[in-house]
Chain A
Amino acid sequence: MEIPYTVDARPDTGLYNAKLGIWLFLASEVMLFGALFTSYILLRVGAPVWPRGSEILNVPLATINTVVLISSSITMVMSWASLKMKDFKKYRVFMGLTFLLGVAFLVIKSFEYGAKFEHHLFPSNNTFFAIYFTLTGLHGLHVIGGMIVNAYFWGPGSRMWKTDPERFTNRVEVAGLYWHFVDLVWIFLFPVLYLL
C-alpha cells in the first residue's frame, strides 16, 4: 500500500508530504528557540548589570563561524540544485562540502568553548554565560543532528538516487530546509549574543 503524495505534489495544496512536514517541524523549532530568546530578553531586562557580549566572547571566531555556516547553506542548496539538474557527482561534491563546513563550525566552536573552560568560565558563572552556553549548545546539537542526516544522504542514503531519484531529491530538499534553518538561527544568535 502506497502513501499518496510522497513524491508527487498533491494538486490542491501543491505540496508533497515531507515538505509540509518539515516546515511544520521548523515552525515548532521557531517556538523552541523563540522561547530561549524570550528567556534571554527577560533575564537581561531583569538584570541590574549585563556584560557586553563583544567584551567577553570571541567575536572574530564567531564571525568566521557565521561565514562558515552561510557557506554551508549555499553548498547545501547547490547540492539539491545539482540533483535537480541530474548531476549526481556534483551533488556529492556539494553535500560533502556542506558536511565538512559543518565539521569546521564544530571545530571552531570547540576552540571557543575550550578557551572559555580554560579560563574557568562555565554556565554556572553567571546568567550571561548560562544563556550563552545553553543557546549555542542547543544550536550546536542541532548542527550535529543536521550533519548526521547529511552524512547519511551523502553516504548510504544516496543509494536511493538509483532506485527513486525524485524521492531522493525531495529528501535532500527537506534536509536542506532543516539545514538552512540551523543557519538562520545562528544569524540571529550571533549578533544577539556576541555583538550586543
Chain B
Amino acid sequence: MDHSFEIRKHVRTYIAVFVALLALTIVTVAISYLHLEVRAAVTVALIVAVIKGGLVASYFMHLISEKKIIYASLLLTIVFFAALMWLPIFTTSDPIMYNNVP
C-alpha cells in the first residue's frame, strides 16, 4: 500500500511524463512536415509512438513496477501480436502466382 508521501513523488513523475508526451507530440507532427521517404517516415513515427506509448504504459499505468504475471501475460500478447502483424505480410513476399507484386 503506497503511502501519501510516495504518491506525491509519483505525482512529480506524472507531470514530467505529461510534459514529455506533449513535447513528443510536437516532435512527431513537426517531423511529418519534413515529408520523409515512406520507409524513414514510418520508422521515425513508430519510434516516437513507441516511446510515447511506453511512457504512458510505464508511468501512468504503473507497468514499470508491475508484477511478474502481468509481464508474462503481456509478453505472450506481444509475441502473438507480432505473429499476426508480420506473417500475413510474408505470405505476399515470395508469391507463386501474384501479378501485382507490391
Contact = CB atoms under 8 A, between A and B. Distances in A.
A85 B8 contact: yes
A27 to B, nearest CB: 4
Contacts of B100: 46, 48
A176 to B, nearest CB: 8
A191 B28 contact: yes
Interface stretch (A59-67, A117-125, A128-136, A155-163): A59-67
A138 interface: no
Interface string A71-93: 10110111001001110000000
Where chain B touches its partner, the secondary structure class is: helix
Contacts, number: 121
Given A45-B92, A180-B61, A188-B49, A30 B81 contact: yes
Interface in A79-120: 81, 84-86
Interface of B: 2, 4, 7-8, 10-11, 14-15, 17-18, 21-22, 25, 28-29, 32, 38, 41-42, 45-46, 48-49, 52-53, 56-57, 60-61, 66-67, 69-70, 73-74, 76-78, 80-81, 84-85, 88-89, 92, 100, 102
Interface of A: 13-15, 19-20, 23-24, 27, 30-31, 34-35, 37-38, 41-42, 45-46, 48, 54, 59, 63, 66-67, 70-71, 73-74, 76-78, 81, 84-86, 176-177, 180-181, 183-184, 187-188, 190-192, 195-196
